[in-house]
Structure 1
Amino acid sequence: MGEMSDLGRLVLLGAPLGNPADASARLREVLGTADVVAAEDTRRLVRLARDLEVSIPGRIVSYFEGNEERRTPELVEELTAGSFVALVTDGGMPSVSDPGYRLVRAALDAGVPVTAAPGPSAVTTALALSGLPSDRFCFEGFLPRSPGARRSRLRALATEERTLVIFEAPHRVTAALADLAETFGADRPAALCRELTKTYEEVLRRPLGELARWAADGEPRGEITLVVGGAPAAAASRPDDDTLRAAVADREAAGLTRRDAITEVATAFGLRRRDIYTLVHQA
């Protein structure tokens, strides 16, 4: 590896969620000067550049979930050779439930400078629009796809007192809302944010039970972010024995050993592993 001055740099670009007018001046500048632009969807990048009236003189390459393992070392090679590489996803910040983390980690390990031209984020946009407490929150990304694993994860989150932000695919959001309402309670306040910043933006601020019924009446379309109010302090006490046993059983069904399932449940609920072990084996 050469000296630091011989290295290129990696810039993460915060791309508009839908409205091109949200693009920053720095995003325009980087697109117009980068040697290589790695894009989650090259067609969407070309369309964005056209909307912004920006010319991209550098080489455009695809970088998405299906090829990032193969493409990462190629881009690191470009970076260590001195190239200026920009990374952009379909919307929001790279690495936030989008491709990017693998490349960032590899670039840092290679000693390459990494920075960002920050921009829109579906996480903070949905949180701000939800009307729910935003002073403390946690981001869960996408819930597990299988029903059993999803319910198990939601049980672990049921006593979380911070506001939750969750991404969900349109074809799974109906089932996810039903499980949320069952696990968190139908009265838990929430917001479903759909197509943020786009023409048909919609924010539904309703209890989970009402959102679940709304979704069941017709599958929602578009990009969806769910914001769910945290558990009331009273609900954040120790779950009952049946809930704890079910949480262990769910994790075993998902493939964990009983030992690991007990450890994970104890950690999730802030309890002693020995107490969960006794509870499960008494049953």
Structure 2
Amino acid sequence: MSAEHVDLKDRAVGDRYHFGDAAAVPAPLAEQPSAPSAPRTRRSFWLRTSLRVVRNAAVAVVLLTLVPVAMVAVRGDKLMRSYELSDNTRIRMALTERLRFMTLPRNPSITPLDAGRALASLVEPSEKPYDAKHELVVVRRHAPWDSLKISAGMFPSAQPIGMRTTPSFDVIKAAAKGFSPAERAYLQAIAVAPIWRDVSIVARAPAVDINGARFSLPFAPGVTWEQLPILRGRQLSDIGNAALSRAAWFLSNGQRDSAETTLRTIISFGFALMDNGTTLVDQFTA
């Protein structure tokens, strides 16, 4: 299976970063894994001047996936309200809002329910028996990063950070130096995975019906929001982290437009959660 090349010619975004023709130059296949550092060469110049859109988009992805893990396990509005009003949260929300110009155009042919079903396919349903009474059974789309392993010597300059299983943000920089065969195989497995189709549906939808796609409606009398299962934020955050690897794969093949689209898609995906979440937990998952 080969990855689809996605061309993006959005001057409203691209012109802010002054790209030249060098953006289409493919990075060569490295004989060895990408090194932690390299001498200043024409490649490093290409990296500085030709990847600004992608790297800025990658920074945006990192901001959108900095999810407080504790938040996605919290139920109840009191704590959520206090978190929302904290200075740290206000700053983060303001910084995130400034990224909205990087979102992709909406596709009016995508219905809210279709987008909700695509979102539901990206996370495992709750394992609690009580939740099963409300939550629809949806088979989760396979996420290759759940089973892929980074062996010794791979991505030395972009090792996973914390709980993440995919390479760090620095994999974007490593793309200009080239990847080893093992690294390329790893990145390709992520890049061509069918899961990105569902991510794109959510990202481009004008609206997302999260509840209609996840729950058996109508709710029984007396059911409160605190009793309903929440989205698994860790799995959604993993998608954002994996998008960096997908973008790096496209960059290593000289497909700068596809790399940019990949990252703008995940930014749009994050805003879809923020704009359509029915609880603060859903919104902070972005």
Q: TM-score, normalised by structure 1?
A: 0.26
Higher helix share: 2
Q: Which has the higher contact order (CA 8 A, sep 6+)?
A: 2
Q: Which has the higher strand share?
A: 1
